[in-house]
Structure 1
Amino acid sequence: MRLGNFLRWWRAAAGNVRRATVVGLLAGLFALAAPPAAVAEFTEGEASARRGLFTEATLVGLGSGTSVSAFDAPAGFDPLNGYPAGVPAGSTAHPVSWAGTLVIEDPGTGRTGLTYCIDLHTDTMAGVNYVLGEWSEANVPNLGYVEYILQNYFPTTQEPAGAANDAVRAAAVQSAIWFFTDNLILSETSTVRPLTEAIVADTLANGPAAEPELPELEVTPEVIAAPATGEIVGPFQVSGNVPGTLITTGVEVFTDPEGLNQLQDGDEVQPGTELWARSISDEVPQGFVLEHVATVLEGTALIYDGTNPGLDDAQTLVLAQETELVVRAGAQLVPFAAGGLEVVKRVAGSGAGFQGEVVIEVDCLDQDPETDLDQHHELILEAGAGAGDHSWTIGGIPAGSECTVTETATGDNGEVNLVIDPVIEPETVVITEGETRRVTVTDNYARALGALQIAKTIKGSGAGAQGTAVIALDCDDPENAFDQEFTVPAGAVAGTYAQPVVGGIPAGTRCTVTETVLGENDRVELTHVVIEPPSVTITDGATQLVSITDVYSLRNDKPGKPGKGGKPGKGGHHKTA
């Protein structure tokens, strides 16, 4: 599912709760804010009904500060040139209702911290949810100078020491921050201005400072579609440099794709772990979170996490001092209506069990553009699978998907032949929510057959004087149905004697030919024999030929030293294969 669709879908679902009340509250609050201010007539009421799964801080109230009289500098103004002596020509009046610290709270543990605003022209209010972020996500200029201010001024220190109280200190620091981030210049009559000017001068002389390092804990992907029928999705990759404690909301989490090793809330998960999850409820939002308590440094950005219903944007904040907060990372599961598909492969025929590997392809096209979750599955039946039905069940297919089944490898391997083309019934089905559709793929196999013929050739000076020769055929078919003997009668003259063709041998059968009676007698001796080839594998539709060549010599014509009775010495005839 596309990320944009996920977020729209999730926000729509989450926003059903108290949306009308919240939108009305927001409209009233924003109506009070004219002209734009750092805080929109800040209210202690909640801006949303609940926090997001990964919310790391919620804005809950005001800290130290006060209102200030100020101006927006004209276009082209560069704060790095220093604080102007007066208000530059072309500036626009911008009275700010609150300049100072804002209080955030971790919604899970109640830990609190102080922040400043670095996004003057965007509103915020109590109840707005935030996550920790990098400076690049804040899209705010000159944050290195802001970091210097936060390291050296209130509330990290009691500077500027000349301020009458913390409210003035906070206002002076906030005004200096806005000078760098939003080109805000205090009016010449502002009592805070001298303090802000001094902060800016010190910062330009000694800054900028480097971005603070965040504790690293990440889960990818952060959002994934999950079947409402409970099939397992993943993997989710955990990375970072700190472990996290698991918290689940409406899901189960596993360390394996089969769901055999389930984790429980409170279990510690190390970086490098792969996780899988499944939806087990109708909760919105649902997912899992890894939590780690960490010391977060001043200058860390806090970005609106988008979870407040009816609120598209909110002011970006920056942590005012080193604070202990809970770092959260995890994944959100977005359930979708789903069904299943059972694919049955039926193996039949006399060749069943001799076929090769069968490959079935399943392509499911999601017809709903909101989910857009096309699926492809490859099902493999191993070679030699026996006669009968073999089935697979595919779950978690979006309801309404159109699934087409094809057989891309039929198992025709030379040992079997398909009697007819594969029969697929039906070839296309539409998935129904909460149901499992069925498709049957039937293949009827016949054994592929071949044949074998033996031809014996008689040669030599003793040809015609030899005795009876017997040839044995031994095939490795389980029933030994093709084992037999062939006889070449005594006295056969020189020439080639073709034996009857042995047909109907299943392809793939291995047959070996031997000569068990050689035809030697007192008059002749077999001096040379060649069987080529001695063994053959039967192939579909072909007749394999095995040739036997026997060379007979009269014993008194045999060259070499005669042995006893005129026979050759030891090793008196030569046979080769």
Structure 2
Amino acid sequence: MRLKTFRAPLAAAAALAAVLAGAPAHAQDEDRPVSGDIVTTPGPELRGRMDGERYDVWANVIGLKPHGGDETLVVYCIDIKTPLDTESPYAEGDWEESGVPNLEQVRWVLYNGFPNVGAKDLIEDSGAEVNPEWSDAKVDEVAYAGTQAAVWFFTDDWTLLTDNPVKGGNNGEDEAVLAVYEHLTEDTGRVPDPSEYVLDLDGEESAAYHNGRFGPYILRSNAGAVTLTAEGGKLETPDGQKVESLFDGEPFWIVLDEGSDEITVKGSAAYDLPIGRVFLATNDEALSGDAVNPLTAGESQKLILAQPREGEVPAEWKFALEAPTEKPEESAKPQLPVTGSGLSLAFAGGLALLVGGMTVIVFAKRRRATH
């Protein structure tokens, strides 16, 4: 008899694990919000329109220097009408808390804008030219201004003028800033939130045993290449090669180690995205952990992190497998395993299942991404 694969909604899975295992199942413990201080460098004044009227604004280059770190991270304003608070620390908050629209489009702008695309490359990809007389800092300033203008287009419904968009702009600034802005606001795509990434398997119901291996199992992932490892056996491609990584829709087979009747398969997909972490002004009391409300944005400008961070989408599957007893006349036919179970879980929560009278606990945690 082959055991079926049972699944449960993620929200219910953690509760089920708590009941059966006697302890709560958690995703990885959250650290305190990342916090830092604001630094600015003067940038150009951009000429635009908002709510049907002229609205000019300075596109100063804004940086966030995280507490305890040396690197200054590039951030953008997502709140054009509110003054920037350079005296208070800023702490990581939620997009929903910020009340700013169009997160997916803003992510796309950041992913395709500066600094994720080099300043010179961004300007040239936009169809403009880099003035050879510009310093490296000037090139960065122009690319930043064009990207900031595109961010404001989606967060504040602000539009950059096509006629003299940079006040006092000369030596190609006007053309370059406008070109970057138009490049990032035309045909804008979407960059998904990492919570949308999924690792899973198909084939548990149809996998068969043939020539010493079980399968095929089909990897399902929208997070790109997935690195796979196994304990208690090995994974093979259709032609018998060792599996190290697979993409969505690619199959693999399981070969158990001698004397083993179970295997644990672990998958991991890495992503590197500017996921739109919002930063809000706060105070020292809140950062100390003494305040009831850790974030007090008030009337200070909201910011969004532009630079990417690395993250991981992990998953784990455990299979209990037993090869069927083959009769000579049936040896050439693929056969279903006598027992087999695939316990799969994406990267949130925990899952506890009763399989054949045995409690099996599988936890998969999302690693907290770092800068």
Give the TM-score, by structure 1 length: 0.27
- The structure having more radius of gyration, on CA atoms, is 1
Q: Higher helix fraction: Structure 1 or Structure 2?
A: 2
Say which structure is richer in strand: 1
